Amino acid sequence: MGSDSPHLMEFPRKILIGPNVIQNLGPFLTALNNNFVNLAIVTGKNVKPRVHPLCQSCLTDYSFRDSWYVVNAATMDSVRSLEESMTSYLPDAILGFGGGRSVDVAKMVAFDLRRPFISVPTSASHDGISSPFVSIRGIDKPFSVQANTPLAVLADTKLLSEAPKRLLSSGCGDLVAKVTAVKDWQLAKEETNEYYGAYAANLAYMSAKIIIDMFSGEKYEDTQREIRTVIEALISAGVASCIAGSSRPCSGAEHLFSHAVEYVAGHGFGLHGERVGLGTIMMAKLHGLDWEKVVNTLRNVGAPTTAKELGLNDQQIVSSLVMARSLRPDRYTILDEVKLDHSSALNLARSVSVI
């Protein structure tokens, strides 16, 4: 996208956040569109038993007819299977009820079926809860693709606080990444005259900075205040992508590294935000940023800062660093400046104690 190219901005219409707001799901949906009747709710096998009893009576009271679909993987096979299941029950709206997997699959299905999508996160694991982007395995692209921005977001901080702490740590890793993503975007503007949106960039950077300021000097204590800050920062980062019309303010070389790890090592080596956090440490060093502050922040929220913590060996890290640049040649990042080879990638990872 050139510096003078037009782009479309779409934002969530309503965002409701706070403890126990899941009990307001019925009136929340009615206020969005009083013609909503048939709901498709996409969730995970561990999430459904937690949330179904909390919102069932509320949905019934507001005369909604809800069908629940459990997904086990964020793959195109899951997406196609769900779409086929919904052909005889074309919903008025589709809800992604759960973590990143359920939200991404529901968002993709809603996009394909041209139905409104409502995001109901139950873990603060990534910024896709409010953005138009999805990460689905089976798409012929090694990165996130664009769907539709959620019509609305309902984030119950009590439910979010009950999720495994590792998921919130992953969300913090995804947030910290904005410091290098924004630097990459600035670099692309300088070197290729790519469109750069200062407002979107600053909004994404602020989402990262508030997490770094809060946790670089003290450990995460699992308070409602901290949970709310993290989820608000994730929502804000997602909105930054809506303003930019792309994932640029939120995704740079650190995300390319994360995708490269999946190519090199396969799936199952860390959550998305954990791998991204590891990449952020190394990209911060390349950008000349305070990478030690990034390390301290990740440690204090319980996120990994070494390859060993993710079950990765030295060679996998080095190969991922070398490969990352090739995954998305249209996206200029710090890796296009330094052009890492095996030796320089090894030195980089060692210099920040990732290996």
The predicted pLDDT at position 139 comes to 66
117 vs 135: CA distance, rounded Å: 16
pLDDT (tens digit per residue) in 241-283: 999 999 999 999 999 999 999 999 988 899 999 999 999 999 9
The predicted pLDDT at position 218 comes to 87
12 vs 89, more confident: 12
Q: Do residues 297 and 212 make contact, with C-beta atoms less than 8 angstroms apart?
A: yes
Domain match, 140 and 261 both: no
The predicted pLDDT at position 1 comes to 56
The predicted pLDDT at position 248 comes to 95
Domain match, 113 and 205 both: no
211-234: average pLDDT: 91
Measured at the alpha carbon of residue 158, what is the angle toward residues 208 and 70, in degrees to the nearest 5? Answer: 90
List the CATH number of the domain containing 123. Answer: 3.40.50.1970
Q: Do residues 130 and 150 make contact, with C-beta atoms less than 8 angstroms apart?
A: yes
Average pLDDT, the chain: 93
Tokens of 141: 């692209």
The predicted pLDDT at position 338 comes to 96
List the CATH number of the domain containing 234. Answer: 1.20.1090.10
Domain extent, residue 105, equals 14-163
Domain match, 208 and 342 both: yes
- Residue bearing tokens 């890793």: 173
Per-residue confidence at 171, pLDDT binned at 50, 70, 90? very high
pLDDT (tens digit per residue) in 112-130: 999 999 999 999 988 889 9
- Interacting residues of 267 by C-beta distance below 8 A, sequence separation 6+: 137
The answer on pLDDT for 45 being more than 80 is yes
CB-CB neighbours of 88 under 10 Å: 6
159 vs 47: CA distance, rounded Å: 10
Q: Do residues 13 and 151 make contact, with C-beta atoms less than 8 angstroms apart?
A: yes
Per-residue confidence at 141, pLDDT binned at 50, 70, 90? low
Domain match, 45 and 193 both: no
